Amino acid sequence: MANNEKIQQLQHIDHQLAKLLEQRVQLTREFSTQEKSVDLSFLEEVSDENRTQIMEIFTLLNKPSSPKRTLLVSRDAQPESTIITSKGRSLGRTPQIIAGPCSVESEEQVMAVAEVLQEQGIKWMRGGAFKPRTSPYDFQGLGKRGLEILRLAGDQYDLRVISEVMHPADLEMAAEYLDVIQIGARNMQNFDLLKAAGKVQKPVLLKRGLSATLEEYLYAAEYILDAGNSEVILCERGIRTYEKWTRNTLDISAVPILKQETHLPVLVDITHSTGRKDLLLPMGRAALAAGADGIMLEVHPDPAKALSDSKQQINLEEFRHFMEQIRMMNHPSF
The DSSP code sequence of 229-272 is: ---EEEEE--B--S--SSSSB--TTHHHHHHHHBSS-EEEETTT
Return the pLDDT at 35: 53
Return the pLDDT at 15: 84
- pTM beyond 0.75, yes or no: yes
Question: Domain 89-327 is classified in which CATH homologous superfamily?
Answer: Aldolase class I (3.20.20.70)
Is beta strand 180-183 parallel, antiparallel or unpaired with respect to 204-207?
A: parallel
Which class for 93: exposed (0-12), middle (13-18), buried (19 or more C-beta within 10 A)?
middle
* 270-307 per-position pLDDT tens digit: 999 999 999 999 999 999 999 999 999 999 999 999 89
* 189-232 per-position pLDDT tens digit: 999 999 999 999 999 999 999 999 999 999 999 999 999 999 99
CA 153 and chain centroid, separation? 27
3-state secondary structure of 98: strand
List, in order, residues 6 or more apart from 318 with CB less than 8 Å away: 277
The DSSP code sequence of 71-83 is: PTTBTTT--SPP-
Torsion angle, CA of 312/234/145/105, rounded to 10 degrees? 10
DSSP 159: -
* Contact criterion met (CB below 8 Å) for 82 and 230: yes
* Contact criterion met (CB below 8 Å) for 62 and 99: no
Report CA-CA distances (Å) from 261 to 75, 226, 276: 6, 17, 30
Is beta strand 160-164 parallel, antiparallel or unpaired with respect to 180-183?
A: parallel
